């Protein structure tokens, strides 16, 4: 027994010795070999140049200005004369720099664990640096590197589409190795949505260096993959014209080809994205946040509004799909309806009523009672189910970040949101685009394409990504042909007959337009009100939003134009003239010429 114990101890001892020998002679060799290699080799990452963004005609919407950044070697103490001397030298050379800010940035990133130079100046323009470089290069603690700065030549005109870039945060750095090195990322708009394309891929250079880190030989050199550009479907001159046309009004305009290509998407008022590139000041940020017209909000995908009467064509299609033949039954409008024995009146916009109302007349003259009565026969759940399939209350899939869904309410939605049952009166007001109904202007434009072509398209901002064309997508939908034809005839009469609600503004254009106006209330009207005030008599923020959504030409539609003027009153008189001017511009520029 003792013999076995001695043998076991002997084997354990030699086993440990052999393991230790392996660790010291073989395994540790790889480790120390790696350290030695690091001492003689240096890997430097090469930043890619961010891709440019152009409009459909090649005009630059986002470009790069050439300049330099300045960094200071780490591990200098805040109270050291050398650090103060370096900062003072930079301020003497470039008086616009702030010494306090630079010292604060340096202190924030300076630690025993950081061995990278600390960037204290993000960007100095090329001409300014050229005269200063010989003097600054004498300071070994300073590192001057080539840098680019994003610039947006068209500023506010394309801000909500193009977006802007800004400094990346720690979370963004962790998620993307390129962002970690570059230090910048797309923060909004297409800059954010297509960031991985635009930023390119890192390059690197591996060099053999001396003990003093002096390069003596380049071992590997891999250039970065950059200049991955983005070409848009947007026509920036159209975009600019529409924005100027809004003047002091707030609102949205969307111009889209019937294949889904977005030619313009204006959100007014807007902001200058160049303010954000180097970090926006507290004063400018506060001004944007406190502006009650919300210039920072992208209203065509983040603004949700009651659609008003623009929803009525979709309601007809929903009624038709729910109950065959129901839409062909005329309704009598005497100016209101009542539910049961209740005194509450659901009123038509026309106080004395429209009389006997057919489907086409209901569209042309926008009779509310026609839709009230049909909705009671169909119910909210069926209405909501079909309207969602038409693209209302669902995301459009546009290539922009954080698109809002909007709301097409039904019984389950209200119970989940408010823990309350659905009331029949809510069905009535939902049928004319009021109540809980909230859609984005881009959804209304997309749904108008559906009315014009029977295809539900996916809106596209980008035309080509890194030289590869992005193909539009459309889903064909089936409708009762006579019903859809009658809806289109009604939309034609809205714009081209004297009783149409958009006749005054849309009937004298060089092409035939079909469309629908809408007035969406932002405050309810009391039942005790016998005579309504005119929209222009109301205080501005109590006025209704004014809609018009259209397509042209009437035969073989090519383009959809949707306009919303916030608190604009009536769609025909406020949004209509803007839409008309858009069509005139498009016609002059040859957008309706058959190729």
- The band of 182, judged by pLDDT with boundaries at 50, 70 and 90, is confident
Percent of the chain with pLDDT over 90: 63
Give tens-digit pLDDT for 306-364: 999 999 999 999 999 999 999 999 999 999 999 987 888 899 989 899 999 999 999 99
For the four alpha carbons of 293, 523, 348 and 322, in that order, the dihedral sign comes to positive
Residue found by looking up tokens 């009762």 in the block? 480
Question: How would you classify residue 402: left for phi > 0, otherwise alpha for psi between -120 and 50, otherwise beta?
Answer: left
Query: Is the pLDDT score of 27 beyond 70?
Result: no
Nearest Cα to Cα of residue 579 among 432, 448, 486: 448
Query: Whole-angstrom Cα distance, residue 585 to residue 344?
Result: 47
Give me the mean pLDDT over the 492-514 stretch. 95
Query: Whole-angstrom Cα distance, residue 119 to residue 126?
Result: 17
Query: What residue ranges define each of the domains in the chain, with the CATH number in brackets?
Result: 44-229 (3.90.1310.10), 236-588 (3.40.710.10)
Nearest Cα to Cα of residue 487 among 521, 450, 518, 455: 450
- The band of 526, judged by pLDDT with boundaries at 50, 70 and 90, is very low
Residue 140 has which token pair?
């070994």
Per DSSP, 551 falls in state E
pLDDT at 216: 75
CB-CB contact of 483 with 317 (8 Å) = yes
Percent of the chain with pLDDT over 70: 91
Query: Is the pLDDT score of 103 beyond 60?
Result: yes
Mean pLDDT of the chain: 89
pLDDT at 530: 47
With b for 16 or more beta-carbon neighbours within 10 A and e for fewer, the 307-335 pattern comes to bbbbbbbbbbbbbbbbeeeebeeebebee
Per DSSP, 27 falls in state I
pLDDT at 148: 85
Q: Which stretch of DSSP H or E encloses residue 578?
A: helix 576-588
Phi, psi of 519 (to 5 degrees): -125, 110
Nearest Cα to Cα of residue 499 among 332, 324, 366, 384: 366
Name the residue with higher pLDDT: 535 or 484: 484
Query: Whole-angstrom Cα distance, residue 229 to residue 50?
Result: 8
Give me the mean pLDDT over the 582-592 stretch. 97
pLDDT at 583: 98
Lowest mean per-residue pLDDT among 141-150, 370-379, 507-516: 141-150
pLDDT at 409: 97
- The band of 541, judged by pLDDT with boundaries at 50, 70 and 90, is low
- The band of 494, judged by pLDDT with boundaries at 50, 70 and 90, is very high
Give tens-digit pLDDT for 255-303: 999 999 999 999 999 999 999 987 788 888 888 888 888 899 999 999 9
pLDDT at 529: 46
Lowest mean per-residue pLDDT among 41-45, 201-205, 555-559: 41-45
130 CB burial (10 A radius; 0-12, 13-18, 19+): exposed
- The band of 410, judged by pLDDT with boundaries at 50, 70 and 90, is very high
Give me the mean pLDDT over the 195-224 stretch. 82
Give me the mean pLDDT over the 393-419 stretch. 97
Give tens-digit pLDDT for 417-440: 999 999 999 999 999 999 999 999
Name the residue with higher pLDDT: 486 or 529: 486
287 CB burial (10 A radius; 0-12, 13-18, 19+): middle
pLDDT at 436: 96
CA angle 423, 424, 426 (to 5 degrees): 70
Per DSSP, 51 falls in state P
Phi, psi of 237 (to 5 degrees): -70, -35
Give tens-digit pLDDT for 122-166: 889 889 898 899 999 899 989 998 888 999 999 999 999 999 999
pLDDT at 320: 97
Residue found by looking up tokens 């309706």 in the block? 592
Lowest mean per-residue pLDDT among 189-198, 205-214, 499-508: 205-214
Query: Whole-angstrom Cα distance, residue 36 to residue 148?
Result: 35
pLDDT at 77: 81
Query: Is the pLDDT score of 595 beyond 70?
Result: no
Q: What is the 3-state secondary structure (H, E, C) of 182-251?
A: HCEEECCHHHHHCHHHHHCECEEEEEEECCCCCEEEEEEEECCECCCCEEECCCHHHHHHHHHHHCCCCE
Query: Is the pLDDT score of 214 beyond 90?
Result: no
Question: Does the N-terminal peptide bond of residue 11 adopt cis geometry, omega within 30 degrees of 0?
Answer: no
Quickly count: other Cβ atoms within 10 Å of residue 233's Cβ: 23
CA angle 453, 455, 456 (to 5 degrees): 130
CB-CB contact of 201 with 178 (8 Å) = yes
- The band of 528, judged by pLDDT with boundaries at 50, 70 and 90, is very low
Give tens-digit pLDDT for 381-395: 999 999 999 999 999
Name the residue with higher pLDDT: 329 or 24: 329
Per DSSP, 305 falls in state B
Query: Whole-angstrom Cα distance, residue 548 to residue 579?
Result: 8
């Amino acid at each position: 027994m003792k013999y076995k114990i001695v043998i076991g101890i002997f084997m354990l001892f030699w086993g440990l010795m052999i393991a230790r020998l392996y660790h010291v002679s073989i395994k540790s060799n790889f480790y120390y070999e790696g350290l030695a290699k690091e001492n003689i080799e240096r890997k430097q990452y090469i930043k890619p140049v961010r891709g440019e963004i152009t409009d459909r005609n090649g005009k630059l919407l986002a470009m790069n200005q050439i300049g330099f950044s300045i960094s200071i070697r780490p591990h200098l103490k805040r109270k050291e004369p050398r650090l103060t001397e370096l900062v003072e030298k930079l301020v003497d050379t470039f008086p616009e720099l702030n010494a306090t800010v630079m010292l604060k940035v340096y202190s924030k990133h300076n630690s025993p664990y950081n061995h990278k130079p600390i960037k204290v100046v993000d960007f100095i323009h090329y001409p300014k640096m050229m005269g200063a470089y010989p003097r600054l290069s004498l300071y070994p603690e300073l590192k001057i590197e080539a840098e680019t700065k994003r610039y947006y030549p068209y500023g506010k005109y394309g801000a909500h589409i193009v977006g802007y870039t800004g400094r990346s945060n720690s979370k963004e750095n962790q998620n993307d190795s390129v962002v970690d090195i570059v230090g910048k990322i797309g923060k909004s708009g297409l800059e954010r949505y297509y960031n991985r394309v635009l930023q390119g891929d890192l390059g690197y250079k591996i060099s053999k260096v001396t003990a003093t880190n002096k390069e003596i030989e380049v071992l590997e050199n891999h250039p970065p993959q950059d200049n991955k550009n983005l070409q848009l479907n947007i026509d920036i001159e159209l975009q600019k014209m529409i924005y100027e046309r809004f003047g002091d009004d707030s609102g949205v305009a969307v111009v889209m080809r019937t294949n889904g290509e977005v030619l313009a998407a204006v959100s007014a008022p807007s902001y200058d994205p160049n303010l954000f590139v180097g970090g926006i000041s507290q004063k400018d940020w506060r001004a944007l946040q406190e502006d009650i017209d919300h210039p920072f909000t992208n209203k065509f995908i983040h603004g949700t509004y009651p659609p008003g009467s623009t929803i009525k064509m979709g309601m007809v299609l929903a009624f038709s799909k729910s109950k065959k033949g129901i839409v062909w039954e005329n309704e009598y409008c005497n100016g209101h309806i009542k539910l049961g024995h209740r005194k509450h009146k659901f009123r038509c916009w026309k106080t004395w009523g429209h009389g006997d109302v057919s489907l086409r007349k209901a569209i042309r003259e926008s009779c509310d009672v026609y839709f009230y009565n049909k909705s009671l026969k169909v119910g909210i759940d069926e209405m909501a189910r079909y309207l969602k399939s038409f693209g209302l209350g669902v995301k459009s899939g546009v290539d922009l970040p954080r698109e809002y869904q909007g709301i097409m309410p039904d019984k389950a939605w209200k119970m989940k949101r408010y823990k309350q049952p659905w009331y029949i009166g809510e069905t009535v007001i939902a049928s004319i685009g009021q109540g809980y109904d909230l859609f984005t202007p881009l959804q209304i434009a997309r749904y108008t394409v559906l009315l014009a072509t029977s295809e539900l398209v996916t809106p596209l901002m980008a035309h080509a990504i890194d030289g590869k064309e992005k193909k539009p997508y459309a889903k064909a939908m089936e409708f009762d042909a006579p019903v859809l034809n009658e809806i289109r005839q009604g939309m034609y009469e809205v714009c081209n007959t004297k009783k149409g609600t958009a006749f005054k503004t849309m009937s004298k254009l060089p092409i035939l337009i079909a469309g629908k106006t809408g007035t969406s209330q932002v405050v309810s009207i009391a039942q005790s009100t016998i005579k309504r005030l005119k929209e222009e008599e109301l205080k501005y923020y109590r006025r209704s939003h004014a809609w018009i959504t259209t397509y042209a030409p009437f035969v073989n539609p090519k383009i959809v134009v949707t306009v919303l003027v916030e608190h604009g009153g009536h769609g025909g008189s406020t949004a209509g003239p803007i839409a008309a001017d858009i069509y005139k511009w498009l016609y002059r520029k040859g957008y309706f010429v058959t190729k």
